[in-house]
Amino acid sequence: MAIKACQSSSAFPLPFLTPRLCLQNTPRRSIKSISKPRPNRFNRSPNLPLLESTTAAALERKRFTIPLRTGVLGTKKGMTAMYDPDGRRFPCTVVQMDRVQVVAHKTRERNGYFAVQVGSGWKHPSNVTRPLLGHFAEHKVSPKRHLVEFKVKDESGLLGIGKIIGASWFQEGQYVDARANSRGMGFAGGMKRHGFSGQPASHGTSLTHRAMGSAGQSQGGGSRVYPGKKMPGRMGGHQVTTQNVKVVKVDNDKGLVILHGSIPGPDGCSVKLSDAIKKPWPDIPTSLLGAQSATEPVSSLA
């Protein structure tokens, strides 16, 4: 009887033999968040734009941080002090611009980006190499002691070759970024270079009060010193950038730019000044404002 019952029920498949039905079971939360979801910092969403590796794509990503106009070269003369309208005294740095002149251009078609090559000072032709002397002669500019390149956003920031940039290139109240090589202090220990606290002053410490101490573990860390370990070495002598420095006063006749506070580098060093990238761009035309006609004689190249 049992066999016949099974045979009679074979027309209807057993439940565990039937395929599972795809039911749309949407889970519901009892508490709904009122805040927007935080953006994911990993590239896991299919809707994110694909990053390109071309030069044009890189310049497009940097379009908000590349200045609209070129910077200038100056010489740090020293520090002084000024008084505000309330009578409070504040420190200032004096930067002088010495015959700052546009020497050459970099274009996107030829070099992949837009930039302005700026030179300052003067150098005797006998102390200039022949390739560099030919570079100056090609652009009809006298030999410069310092040469530096400033990137600009587009071709509207390319000044004419031979234009002299005066101190009026900056206006009082705007903010600039100052770059210079910091003062070299030679070989320094860990306490001076990195601010280490040193070893105990007593309780058995002998002749190692200012020593660095252990440079790494023996067994757990692979019996080696990790790259980038803070140790004694040369201190200073590298480029330092001070951002958001306020321009207090401008003297175009003497080529002086007075900056609020201190900037890196010793007196007499070359300083690169450009519009601050973390402040709104100054309301100044990107072309001929502050640029004068070239008045330097080119006869010294002969």
Strands 72-83, 270-275: pairing is antiparallel
Mean pLDDT score of the chain, rounded to an integer? 84
The answer, yes or no, to whether residue 249 has pLDDT greater than 70, is: yes
Q: How confident is the model at residue 235 (pLDDT cuts 50, 70, 90)?
A: very high
Phi-psi region of 190 (alpha: psi -120 to 50; beta: other; left: phi over 0): alpha
The pLDDT tens digits for 118-151 are 999 999 999 999 999 999 999 999 999 999 999 9
* Cα angle 35, 36, 42; round to 5: 135
Strands 186-188, 233-235: pairing is antiparallel
Beta strands in 171-237 (DSSP E): 175-181, 186-188, 233-235
Phi-psi region of 139 (alpha: psi -120 to 50; beta: other; left: phi over 0): alpha
Q: What is the C-alpha separation between 120 and 146, in angstroms, rounded? A: 5
The answer, yes or no, to whether residue 96 has pLDDT greater than 70, is: yes
Edge-to-edge strands, sheet with 101-106: 146-151, 115-120, 101-106, 164-165, 291-292
pLDDT of residue 56: 76
The pLDDT tens digits for 161-216 are 999 999 999 999 999 999 999 999 999 999 999 999 999 988 888 899 999 988 88
pLDDT of residue 290: 41
Find out whether 272 and 178 touch, Cβ atoms under 8 Å.
yes
pLDDT of residue 42: 67
* Cα angle 119, 125, 127; round to 5: 90
pLDDT of residue 52: 75
Count CA atoms closer than 13 A to 197's CA, side-chain side: 3
The pLDDT tens digits for 36-83 are 767 666 666 667 666 677 777 887 888 888 999 999 999 999 999 999
Exposed (0-12), middle (13-18) or buried (19+): which is 287, by Cβ within 10 Å?
middle
Q: Whose CA is closest to 165, among 220, 94, 98?
A: 98
What pTM was computed for the model?
0.72
Partners of 247 in beta bridges: 259
Of the candidate ranges 18-32, 35-49, 153-167, 211-225, the one whose mean pLDDT is the lowest: 18-32
